[in-house]
């Protein structure tokens, strides 16, 4: 069974500062994908960044980067230069290779509040 753990229920961060959101995962699959999504209070889930288990380089997408440590089974999201619009719930999710391809296993999420 796959499991995603996000241990930080909530975080405050000042505008223009960087913030790291923790994510650890557990899987017996050799091949898997890790995703981060942002969910504003309006409810829609917005895809941010992807990391494949065989990718040797950490993924980056604009202000988002993923600190992937395979041996530790962690995939932390780093948001640089936080903006007020970054205030939202952030979910780490995993897709394994032995389960349904269309199934994402989500963590409980981390609420981020960016303050001026």
Q: Residue 69 Cβ, how far from another protein at the closest point, in Å?
A: 19
Closest by CA position to 27, among listed 66, 63, 74, 68: 74
Nearer to another protein, 101 or 116 (CB): 101
Closest distance to another protein from the beta carbon of 1 (Å): 11
Binding to another protein in span 69-108, by CB under 8 A: 91, 93, 95, 97, 99-108
Residues 6+ apart with CB under 8 A from 116: 14, 15, 84
CB of 86 to another protein, least distance (A): 18
* 33 contacts another protein (rule: CB under 8 A): yes
The Cα 99–Cα 53 span in angstroms is 15
Residues near 106 by Cβ (< 8 Å), separated by ≥ 6?
4, 37, 91, 92, 93
Q: What residues make contact with another protein under the rule CB under 8 A?
A: 4, 31, 33, 35, 37, 42-47, 50, 52, 91, 93, 95, 97, 99-109
């Amino acid at each position: 069974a796959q499991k995603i753990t996000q241990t930080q229920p909530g975080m405050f961060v000042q505008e223009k500062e960087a913030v790291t959101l923790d994510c650890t995962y557990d899987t017996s699959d050799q091949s898997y994908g890790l995703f981060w999504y942002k969910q504003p209070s309006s409810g829609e889930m917005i895809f941010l960044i992807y990391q494949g288990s065989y990718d040797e380089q950490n993924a980056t997408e604009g202000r988002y980067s993923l600190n992937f440590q395979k041996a530790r089974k962690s995939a932390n999201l780093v948001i640089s230069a936080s903006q007020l619009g970054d205030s939202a719930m952030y979910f780490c999710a995993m897709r394994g290779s032995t389960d349904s391809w269309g199934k994402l296993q989500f963590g409980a999420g981390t609420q981020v509040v960016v303050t001026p």
